[in-house]
């Protein structure tokens, strides 16, 4: 009964202290696509992705009712980093929904402008300069800004209710909002000022990394236990995170009574620090934390919440000697520099494999696909009476001799025939992502890696039936010095039981350093004399690795590698099962160069049919 009363009281007092308007709430999720277009149209960096900002603690003055309810301790503000634009997950501060929507567009506009000199100035001055510059560049936003400012003033604290020091501070901020550029200094007060939602975050969260990976210890990859997949909740916010050392230790002070030594059989060494039960409140718990601490643990845990974390990468060791069969460059978008011989690629051509037949569950589907692809083989056609060709046209030659003996003269007799061999002048390389993320379960019976294997089997069966030239490779990585490139089938090899054995033997690897793998695939395709060269990339996520390749660096390197391939005449296309791929694939591949398979189980059968549409002769 006491718990029920407490819940009712908490719900009532929080509602009484709430100053927002839920009925006029506008969500970032419903505006993300339009905001991306608006942001880029105003000159914003096309490589930036828009994320929901994590709420951060803010210690400004609160009302008595807010203190009693324990609310208004955190707030969601906007800020920008090298690879992301962070906007509030939702805005409901105004009773008018159109005003809340205008707030999103204003924040996208002010963050689209970057002033190098403002980054070195205090928050008050830099915010005013960004506002003035935005209004000068886009005069059409003037009316929207004035409308928002007028509405914001109604939400600001009443000056008569503030202490003298906070009053002077609030007066300066209000003047700076109404007349940008008129205030040069923010008065000092005992408490921080009330948040200014029209301006960027005064001290945005920074990515931190306390755990070094230069310990020399090898990361042991254990085979995951087969578990029933749990329902994952997608958190739209991007959380700040840090890497910390695992505090769990197998040795140390024993905290139990000495007399229990004589009854050691009753002692059970249970690890109570890890709870394997389902936690329905895991998402809410993550939102309440300002910084998520991440550590390495040997225990395999079922994921409950899918989080997007702003986690600083490990420092890259530039002095590591690279020893490999092949070295490839990598693009540094900050330096605008292609770093020569920066990545070491290790060719994994496994010869110790067991030849196998096609899995029984795929045989009926493969037979149907083989029949469809056999009908796609171009017919052998002979074109007669050509001025040049592969052989002599006997009929044309007899007619020519007859006409000549009869006294008729032919100036340019067409005495040759051209034979279309009935094959496509096409070479295709399928590059599959074999990173550790493919070990995730998508159903009670299959993992992502199992779906990829089935896709490779059916793809090979189909192209073997259509007599097209194709190769298959997979890749994973552990930093820039160990990029594993698995050649499952070379162009010169025949598709047979050995190829199926290599496909059946693939296992999830490490990370996804796409740039070097794409450059290696491009190099293999360049060795083909075919007129049309197609590179298909099969993946389940975005580029990432343990070092600085995480985030925008990896996205930009992948985009640069694809640009290099297209300049060499390659056709590039991406197939992914990542449901959030639309946030980054249009920037990497282009609007019409990728497809998202909504149901991963449909990938094996969809892949060959997609190939048929891409290579259909127009």
Residue 265, pLDDT score:
46
**510-527 mean pLDDT:** 96
Using CB atoms within 10 Å of the CB of residue 470, give its burial: 0 to 12 exposed, 13 to 18 middle, 19+ buried. Answer: buried
- Topology classification of domain 347-375+424-614: Rossmann fold (3.40.50)
Residue with tokens 């292609």: 338
pLDDT in tens, 184-195: 999 998 888 999
% of the chain surpassing 90 pLDDT: 47
Among the listed residues 232, 249, 246, the one whose alpha carbon sits nearest the alpha carbon of residue 286: 232
CB 153 within 8 A of CB 132: no
- For 100-109, 313-322, 374-383, which range has the lowest pLDDT when averaged over its residues? 313-322
The helix (run of H) or strand (run of E) holding residue 395 is: helix 394-405
**200-224 mean pLDDT:** 55
Task: Cite the DSSP H helix spans in 18-63.
Answer: 28-41
Residue with tokens 């503000």: 77
Residue 291, pLDDT score:
63
- Range picked from 111-115, 150-154, 217-221 for highest mean pLDDT: 150-154
Does 554 score more than 70 pLDDT?
yes
pLDDT in tens, 390-400: 788 788 878 77
Does 462 score more than 70 pLDDT?
yes
DSSP per-residue string spanning 426-468: EEEEEEEE--GGGGSBSSSS-BHHHHHHHHHHHHHHHHHHHT-
- Say how far apart CA 569 and CA 590 lie, in whole Å: 16
**558-562 mean pLDDT:** 96
CB 217 within 8 A of CB 94: no
| Three-state SS at 186 | coil
Residue 584, pLDDT score:
87
Does 211 score more than 60 pLDDT?
no
Among the listed residues 497, 499, 492, the one whose alpha carbon sits nearest the alpha carbon of residue 469: 492
Does 214 score more than 60 pLDDT?
no
CB 305 within 8 A of CB 330: no
Residue 227, pLDDT score:
46
Per-residue CA distances from 610 to 291, 431, 461, 594, 596 (Å): 43, 15, 14, 11, 12
Instruction: Give me the residues paired with residue 91 across strands.
Output: 26
pLDDT in tens, 535-544: 999 999 899 9
- Band of pLDDT at residue 417, cut at 50, 70 and 90: confident
**199-204 mean pLDDT:** 89
Per-residue CA distances from 525 to 326, 571, 613, 616 (Å): 16, 11, 20, 20
- Band of pLDDT at residue 219, cut at 50, 70 and 90: very low
CB 489 within 8 A of CB 531: no
Does 486 score more than 90 pLDDT?
yes
- For 16-20, 434-438, 574-578, 603-607, which range has the lowest pLDDT when averaged over its residues? 16-20
Residue 292, pLDDT score:
63
Token couple for 108: 């996208």
- Say how far apart CA 614 and CA 268 lie, in whole Å: 61
> Rounded to a whole number, what is the distance in angstroms from the first to the last CA of the chain?
74
**Residue 571 DSSP symbol:** E
- For 79-88, 142-151, 216-225, which range has the lowest pLDDT when averaged over its residues? 216-225
pLDDT in tens, 74-103: 888 999 988 889 999 999 999 999 999 999
Indicate the domain borders of the chain: 2-178, 206-215+231-245+283-312, 347-375+424-614, 381-420
CB 253 within 8 A of CB 268: no
Instruction: Give me the residues paired with residue 447 across strands.
Output: 441
**Residue, of 529 and 422, whose pLDDT is higher:** 529
Does 601 score more than 50 pLDDT?
yes
Residue 295, pLDDT score:
58
Q: Backbone phi, then psi, for 93, in 5-degree steps? A: -85, -20
- Helix%, strand%, coil% for the chain, nearest 5: 40, 20, 45
Residue 422, pLDDT score:
58
Residue with tokens 């034979």: 419
**404-420 mean pLDDT:** 73
Does 272 score more than 50 pLDDT?
no
**Mean pLDDT, the chain, whole residue set:** 81
CB 581 within 8 A of CB 572: no
**332-352 mean pLDDT:** 88
Does 491 score more than 60 pLDDT?
yes
Does 401 score more than 90 pLDDT?
no
**351-379 mean pLDDT:** 87
- Band of pLDDT at residue 248, cut at 50, 70 and 90: low
Residue 235, pLDDT score:
56
Does 27 score more than 90 pLDDT?
yes
Among the listed residues 98, 71, 75, 392, the one whose alpha carbon sits nearest the alpha carbon of residue 205: 75
DSSP per-residue string spanning 281-311: THHHHHHH-SEEEE---SS-----EEEEEE-
Residue 212, pLDDT score:
43
């Amino acid at each position: 009964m006491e718990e029920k009363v407490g819940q009712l009281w908490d719900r009532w007092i929080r509602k009484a202290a709430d100053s927002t308007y839920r009925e006029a709430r506008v969500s970032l999720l419903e505006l993300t696509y339009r905001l991306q277009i608006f942001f880029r149209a105003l000159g914003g960096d096309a490589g930036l992705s828009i994320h929901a900002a994590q709420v951060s603690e803010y210690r400004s003055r609160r009302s008595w009712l807010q203190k009693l309810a324990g609310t208004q301790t955190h707030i969601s503000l906007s800020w920008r980093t090298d690879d992301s634009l962070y906007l509030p997950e939702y805005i409901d501060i105004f009773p008018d929904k159109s005003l809340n929507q205008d707030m999103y567009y204003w924040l996208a506009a002010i963050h689209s402008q970057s002033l190098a000199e403002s980054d070195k100035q205090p928050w008050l001055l830099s915010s005013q300069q960004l506002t003035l510059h935005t209004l000068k560049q886009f005069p059409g936003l003037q009316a929207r800004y004035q409308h928002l400012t007028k509405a914001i003033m109604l939400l600001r604290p009443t000056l008569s209710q503030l202490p003298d020091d906070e009053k002077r501070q609030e007066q300066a901020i209000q003047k700076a909002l109404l007349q940008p550029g008129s205030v040069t200094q923010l008065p000092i007060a005992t408490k921080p000022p009330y948040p200014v939602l029209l301006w960027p975050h005064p001290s945005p969260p920074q990515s931190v990394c306390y755990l070094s990976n230069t310990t020399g210890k090898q990361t042991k990859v254990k085979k995951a236990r087969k578990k029933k997949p749990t329902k994952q909740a997608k958190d739209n916010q991007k959380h700040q995170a840090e890497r910390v050392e695992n505090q769990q230790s197998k040795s140390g002070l024993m905290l139990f009574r000495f007399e229990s030594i004589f009854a050691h059989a009753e002692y059970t060494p249970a690890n109570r620090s890890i709870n394997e039960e389902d936690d329905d409140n895991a998402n809410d718990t993550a939102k309440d934390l300002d910084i998520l601490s991440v550590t390495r643990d040997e225990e395999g845990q079922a994921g409950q919440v899918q989080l997007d974390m702003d986690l600083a990468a490990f420092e890259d060791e530039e002095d590591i000697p690279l020893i490999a069969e092949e070295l490839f460059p990598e693009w540094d978008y900050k330096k605008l520099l292609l770093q020569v011989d920066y990545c070491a690629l290790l060719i994994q051509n496994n010869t110790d494999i067991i030849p196998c037949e096609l899995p029984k569950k795929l045989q009926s589907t493969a037979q149907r696909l083989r029949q469809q692809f056999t009908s796609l083989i171009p017919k052998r056609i002979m074109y007669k009476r050509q001025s040049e060709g592969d052989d002599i046209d006997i009929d044309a030659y007899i007619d020519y001799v007859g006409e000549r003996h009869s006294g008729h003269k032919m100036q340019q007799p067409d005495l040759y025939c051209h034979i279309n061999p009935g094959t496509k002048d096409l070479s295709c390389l399928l590059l599959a992502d074999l990173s550790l993320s493919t070990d995730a379960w998508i159903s009670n019976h299959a993992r992502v890696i199992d779906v990829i294997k089935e896709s490779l089997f059916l793809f090979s069966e189909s192209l073997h039936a259509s007599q097209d030239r194709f190769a298959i490779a997979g890749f994973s990585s552990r930093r820039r010095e160990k990029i594993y490139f698995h050649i499952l089938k070379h162009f010169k090899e025949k598709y047979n039981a050995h190829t199926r054995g290599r496909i059946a033997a693939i296992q999830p690897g490490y990370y996804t350093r796409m740039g070097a793998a794409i450059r290696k695939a491009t190099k293999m395709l360049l060795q083909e004399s075919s007129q049309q060269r197609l590179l298909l990339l099969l993946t389940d996520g975005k580029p990432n690795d343990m070092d600085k390749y995480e985030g925008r660096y990896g996205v930009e390197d992948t985009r640069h590698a694809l640009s290099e391939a297209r300049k060499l005449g390659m056709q590039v296309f991406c197939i992914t099962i990542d449901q959030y791929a639309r946030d980054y694939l249009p920037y990497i591949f282009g609007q019409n160069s990728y497809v998202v398979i909504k149901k991963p189980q449909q990938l094996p059968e969809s892949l060959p049919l997609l190939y048929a549409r891409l290579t259909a002769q127009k």
